[in-house]
Amino acid sequence: MSSLQAAAVAHPNIALVKYWGKRDATNNRPAVPSISVTLSSLYTYSRVRFDPNLESDSFAIGGHRDAQTAIRVSACLDTIRARAGRDEFAYVETRNNFPTGAGLASSASGFAALVVAANRALRLDLPPADLSRIARRSSGSAARSLYGGFVEMPLDNEEETAYPLLDAEQWPLAIVIAVTATGAKDVGSTEGMERTTRTSDYYQAWLEAATADFATARDAILNQDFRELARVSERSCLKMHGLMLSTDPGLIYWNEASVACLHRIRMLRKDGVEVFFTMDAGPQVKAVCPPAYRQIVAEALGSIPGVTDVLQCRLGAGARVVEGAS
């Protein structure tokens, strides 16, 4: 058996300042800067084994083949193989402990775990910024899952990569996720972004406002100013969904329960609970709050009709090797 193997774990991340749109689709470069929090609890485990006897890459997720994702996985491995000067194909086995392709950032944790495992398996020893950049070419949000806590991905004249912004321990917020549907979404992020860029009348305005939202959220995080972070995060989320709605045909990622959750979170805030919402390209609602409010928020969201599960997370760590010769 080949010894060119390793396994890694990575957590999904949730953007507070959203990435939606590409300035260079070929190299998957984002059109806007973004900021995220990496979650604990939810994870992707990815095991990579390069084997000189293989004639092509072999990819399975949760024990099942997925031809579409396999193409993206091979393209990512090609970059890593080129950096290592190797040509062996690989077995890649991946599993998620949460729903895949349902707006819970499974591609972020998936590609972050893949690059970390492949880097170790081939003894490449690339620095995190390089791994983040490689992950970004496969999935923009994956660049951010390389790191724990609060993470930023500014625009860059050369090529975007993500950086750690503030450690989880320094501002240990909690995230409560209201699951309102577990099926895969109709329109994936990549296709959705392409459609938005091509058809939305609001796209230019979205681009113009993004840098200011990024700077405001960045300052709010560094100052640990919850109220300001709540304001700018909800605004970025709602603007992104406004943009999605203005796409032709419109992208409606919300269901009835999602909308009820948004209203409930605003009611909680009126009642003095420090909490804000965010949503991505799927119907799940993520509530961010100081840990002291986590239980109140979880109970409130769990009582809403259509909410099938409530997941509670803290801020998690970055992607890391869990098995593999060093």
Near ligand 2P0 by CB under 6 A: residue from 11, 18, 133, 241: 18
Pairing of strands 5-10, 320-324: antiparallel
Please identify which residue in 4, 8, 10, 15 interacts with ligand 2P0, judged by CB under 6 A. Answer: 15
| Per-residue b or e along 284-305, where b marks 16 or more CB atoms closer than 10 Å to that residue's CB | bbbbbbeeebbeebbebbeebe
Shortest Å, Cβ 114 to ligand 2P0: 13
Site for ligand 2P0 in 36-95 (CB under 6 A): none
Q: Using CB under 6 A, which of 88, 213, 234, 280 touches ligand 2P0?
A: 280
Q: Is 258 in the site for ligand 2P0 (CB under 6 A)?
A: no
Distances (CA, A) of 149 to 14, 16, 124, 132, 142: 11, 12, 25, 15, 14
Site string for ligand 2P0, 132-171 (x = CB under 6 A): -------xxx------------------------------
Q: Which of 5, 34, 161, 284 binds ligand 2P0 (CB under 6 A)?
A: 34
Contact yes or no for 316/177 (Cβ under 8 A): no
Cβ nearer to ligand 2P0, comparing 49 with 286 = 286
What's the full length of the chain, in residues? 326
Cα→Cα distances 55→48, 65, 91, Å? 15, 17, 11
Q: What element of type H or E holds 261?
A: helix 256-270
Q: Which stretch binds ligand 2P0 (CB under 6 A): 89-97, 116-124, 187-195, 313-321?
A: 187-195
Closest to ligand 2P0 by CB, 180 vs 189, is 189
Q: What φ, ψ does residue 25 adopt, rounded to 5°?
A: -70, -30
| Site size for ligand 2P0 (CB under 6 A) | 16
Whole-number Cα distances in Å, 293 to 79, 257, 289, 304: 44, 21, 6, 18
**Closest to ligand 2P0 by CB, 19 or 214:** 19
Beta bridge partners of 106: none
Considering only residues 92 to 111 of the shown chain, the ones binding ligand 2P0 according to CB under 6 A are 107-108
Site residues for ligand 2P0 per CB under 6 A: 15, 18-20, 28, 34, 107-108, 139-141, 189-190, 193, 280-281
